[in-house]
Structure 1
Amino acid sequence: MNLIEPLLRGAGLATALLLVLVGGVRGGWLQRADLLMMLTCIISYLACSSPSLGCGAESAALPLLLGALVFPFAFWRLASVVLEDDRRVPWFAWVGAAAMVASGVLTAAEYLPVPASWRVATSGLVHKFLAIAFVLAAGVRAWRSRDGDLVESRRRLRWIVMGGIGLYSLAVTAVEIHLQRAPAPAWLDLLNVALIDMALMGAAVFLLGVRQGAQEALFEPAARRSAGPMAQPAPPAGASLDAALVERLTKLMEEQHLYRDPELSVGKLAAALQVPEYVLRRLILARLGFRHFAAFVNDYRLREVIARLKDPALERRPILTLALEAGFGSIGPFNRLFRDTHGMTPSAYRERALRL
């Protein structure tokens, strides 16, 4: 009997379990719930992909099967939370995840009375299509938010981890589509487990101490802000801060209203401030407490809209017009930001403000 494959699989399971336990204790279970969910999915996949276990053959193994099937959704969710500080899950994502898991169960659970032809031609393809869609959506999020990410370690990590895991997940899915329900060759299964082990070992090195500062930057909760004077958190001890540069930045934003440009980018603002991009990124992150450039700019935009919603002279001016004039590219992101900040719609806020 070949002992290499079970030994590698056991090492991967042990590493993933260690990451779950230590990562949860070190950072808090709630704070890192999405990372822990993805690690749990990897544990389930390592267990279910074992030729000796056969998750699809026994109903008792259904929790492991569900965990393995949820991985693409967990990967997308981790990209949303870690890379964009976005914890919202739209309804269509829930629907897609439910359809992906349900079709995956119908395909893999051999004890269910499903015709073999239907498993491959219908439910199997639905599961693979939705899995690919979630992985690609995570990649789009990683690409879309790359320039506005102000956390340097996170900007590097998105290509190393999100790109690597995403491409590998797509490759595994392509192989599964090619094999359909046939078992993978022994050498391919061994290679798959070995690569997963290497990725887990790398994650353990990163998350368990070698890059603790970067780890904290990844999972630090996003600052909550309301429309009003911009808060400036206390700088870390020994940090070199340029108060004059902050003053110049504030003047550019408040007097020249650069935030009204819907296409404003880090590069454009750095050029206007006459500093390198890395200086501006470090300034906004360390001095003003914003982890995303979009959050920094939208804070100014939102405060302008708030002020105009309180103005009786602008009572009949459409809220959409106010949002577009402040620099928001469309009404959707503005409405979401407004509700997240104030707990009500802009129209309800205007009505209450004008009654006071």
Structure 2
Amino acid sequence: MLGTAMNLIEPLLRGAGIAMAILLLLVTAARGGWRLRADLLLMLSCVTAYLVCASPARLCGAEPGALPLVLAALAFPFAFWRLASVVLEDDRHVPRVAWAAATAMIVGGLLAGVDYLPVPPHWRVVLGGLSKVMAIGFLGSAGVRAWRSHEGDLIDARRRLRWIVMGALGCYSLVVVMVEIYLQRSAPPPWLDLLNITLIVLALLASAVFLLGVRPQAQEALFEPAALPGKASEPASLPGARVDGDAALVDRLAVLMRDQHLYRDPELSVRRLASALEVPEYVLRRLILARLGHRHFAAFVNDHRLREVTARMSDPALHRRPILTLALEAGFGSIGPFNRAFRERHGMTPSEFRERCVVNSSAGRH
């Protein structure tokens, strides 16, 4: 009797989850600026594909026409990691190693989990293990990024979101991967499949409430593009922002950063800077976000560091000074983050920028 009830409830829950995920997809895509939400659309598509492909009938594993659904379901860990990078850190850069890991995860999972190609059983085990390791890597990396960038996040909605979504959803996804490793290619018990679908549907419902109903302004804050350096956001659109009364604080902050060069400290944090400015941390966060237009503390600090490095690279007297030395002296911890930030700012590498400076300096002397 219980088994019969579970057999009836599971398809209904799965159908409700698929319908809810599709609704979220359509509403998100229909909103203005949907391209900024492309990573959310990707993850919702992966969740929808997973709900379809994880059905007891295993239709995705039997029908070659369902290949797009299989690929989307396998790509969920990468989509989750990508969403964490974009939403929580405003980082749209995908390293080559991430593309390689995503390819290995998807191809390995495809060859191990479906019967399109005659793959020997022992190779299925190896490829399936490789795919799961890559999946764990993406999910774990997303969690690390959520934890690492928590303090520097200046948007309250994102600070709460990282624990609600990235913590709970990320941990649950890791548990699912671990269970799949334990089961290998065996079908899960009916009660476990029902529990999995129930939790996914509840997560989709919570996401729908958060993104579409209760917090529409929060969604705009999450997905609006990062402000250009030097351009402030509109104070009236930010909760807690004050239009007047911040000018003196902005001036004091400029003195600390520009004249005392606090940004040169590689360990500079919101807490340390707020202490130097003699204001509570929430005041400093609001000031940088609402008045200076930076969504993350690291972007604010790196703006000052890049200004110093750019000015020193343009100085003919420092043309022979190594770029790495200039970057470290300005407060960057390593060359990688500096190169990436410099390219995003100037559209060229530091070496290319210096070459132009040398050419312009030589032309000026002649």
Which sits farther off after the overlay, 106-115 or 266-275?
106-115
Aligned to 1:258: 262
Aligned to 1:347: 351
Could you tell me how far apart the structure 1 residues matched to 2:326 and 2:302 are?
13
Aligned to 2:204: 200
Structure 2: gaps of 5 or more residues: 361-366
Q: Secondary structure at the match of 2:115?
A: coil
Contact 2:153/2:295, CA 8 A, preserved across alignment? yes
Aligned to 1:246: 250
Amino acid of the residue matched to residue 68 of structure 1? A
Asked whether 1:83 is paired with 2:88, we answer: yes
Could you tell me how far apart the structure 1 residues matched to 2:127 and 2:241 are?
56
Residue 338 of structure 2, aligned match among 331, 334, 337: 334
- Measure how far apart 1:27 and its partner are: 4.2
Residue 48 of structure 1, aligned match among 50, 53, 56: 53
Could you tell me how far apart the structure 1 residues matched to 2:116 and 2:353 are?
55
TM-score normalised over the length of structure 2: 0.93
Amino acid of the residue matched to residue 54 of structure 1? L
Residue 35 of structure 2, aligned match among 30, 33, 42: 30
- Measure how far apart 1:352 and its partner are: 1.5
Aligned residues: 351
Contact 2:235/2:241, CA 8 A, preserved across alignment? yes
Q: Secondary structure at the match of 1:236?
A: helix
Superposition pairs for residues 1-356 of structure 1, below 5 Å? 2-120=7-125, 122-225=126-229, 230-236=230-236, 239-240=241-242, 241=244, 242-356=246-360
- Measure how far apart 1:322 and its partner are: 1.1
- Alpha-carbon spacing, 1:256–1:63, altered in 2? closer, same or farther (3 Å): same
Contact 2:210/2:216, CA 8 A, preserved across alignment? yes
- Measure how far apart 1:53 and its partner are: 4.2
Aligned to 2:364: none
Offset from partner CA, 1:289-340 (integer Å, 9 cap, x none): 1011010001011001111111111121111111111111111111111111
Amino acid of the residue matched to residue 236 of structure 2? P
Q: Secondary structure at the match of 1:208?
A: helix
- Measure how far apart 1:50 and its partner are: 0.7
Could you tell me how far apart the structure 2 residues matched to 1:174 and 1:28 are?
37
Could you tell me how far apart the structure 1 residues matched to 2:280 and 2:17 are?
43
The Cα RMSD (Å) is 1.4
Could you tell me how far apart the structure 1 residues matched to 2:120 and 2:241 are?
65
- Measure how far apart 1:234 and its partner are: 4.2
Q: Which 4+ runs in 1 deviate beyond 3 A?
A: 230-234
Could you tell me how far apart the structure 2 residues matched to 1:116 and 1:318 are?
54
Offset from partner CA, 1:149-179 (integer Å, 9 cap, x none): 1111101110110011111111111111111
Q: Secondary structure at the match of 1:215?
A: helix
- Alpha-carbon spacing, 1:209–1:251, altered in 2? closer, same or farther (3 Å): same
Could you tell me how far apart the structure 2 residues matched to 1:307 and 1:111 are?
58
- Measure how far apart 1:16 and its partner are: 0.3
- Alpha-carbon spacing, 1:110–1:280, altered in 2? closer, same or farther (3 Å): same
Could you tell me how far apart the structure 1 residues matched to 2:241 and 2:203 are?
34
- Measure how far apart 1:279 and its partner are: 0.7
Structure 1: gaps of 5 or more residues: none
Which has the larger helix fraction? 2
